[in-house]
């Protein structure tokens, strides 16, 4: 009597196991790359948000009058290590209105980052001053007589 192996074999062959292991390894490698990319993008977003917040705070200092809008300065932040700022100012055609450009950058390293914000700012030192403002000149015509004068107190002479 001859014994033949049955056609139905329980278990996996070595080749099937190696193919399954290769597919699993490729999938795991791709997943680890996606996690690395996601972590890098999260760090980039966090750095961008920090830089935007710092630039907005420097522009708020200019608006509040803590920093003169007609100067171009630079420096570092006291509470945020590794970040520097640079402010450039230029006069616009409107009196006492300056175009302020603030650039916030992170020190060169493993994750350098830079953000630039630009805003028009009124010189807060001029608020409440009326000495430089010229009174408007009015012309009143009544019949054949013409009167020209400067408006004071809401009346025309």
Q: What is the pLDDT along the chain (157 residues), one digit of tens a residue?
A: 676 666 666 677 888 889 999 999 999 999 999 999 999 999 999 999 999 999 999 999 988 888 888 888 999 888 888 899 999 999 989 888 999 999 999 877 767 889 999 999 988 887 766 555 555 566 666 666 555 555 444 444 4
In three-state secondary structure terms, 60 is: helix
Where b means 16+ CB within 10 Å and e means fewer, 66-99 reads: ebebeeeeeeeeeebeebbbbbbbeeeeeebebe
CA distance 157 to 152: 9
- Judge residue 54's burial from the number of C-beta atoms within 10 Å of its C-beta, 0-12 exposed, 13-18 middle, 19 or more buried: buried
Phi then psi for residue 10, to 5 deg, are -75, 145
Predicted TM-score (pTM) of the model is 0.65
User: How is the beta sheet containing 73-76 ordered, strand by strand?
Assistant: 73-76, 83-91, 97-106, 114-122
All domains in the chain, ordered by first residue: 16-127 (3.30.1300)
């Amino acid at each position: 009597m001859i014994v033949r192996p049955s056609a139905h074999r329980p278990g996996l062959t070595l080749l099937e196991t190696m193919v399954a292991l290769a597919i699993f390894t490729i999938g795991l490698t791709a997943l680890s790359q996606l996690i690395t990319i996601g972590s890098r993008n999260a760090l980039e977003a966090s750095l961008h948000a920090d830089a935007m917040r710092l630039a907005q705070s420097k522009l708020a200092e200019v608006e509040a009058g803590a920093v003169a809008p007609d100067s171009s300065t630079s420096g570092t932040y006291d509470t945020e290590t590794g970040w520097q700022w640079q402010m450039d100012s230029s006069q616009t055609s409107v009196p006492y209105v300056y175009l302020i450009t603030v650039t916030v950058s992170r020190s060169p390293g493993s994750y350098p980052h830079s953000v630039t914000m630009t805003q028009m700012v009124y010189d807060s030192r001029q608020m409440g001053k009326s000495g430089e403002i010229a009174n408007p000149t009015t012309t009143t015509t009544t019949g054949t007589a013409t009167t020209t004068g400067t408006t004071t107190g809401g009346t025309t002479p």
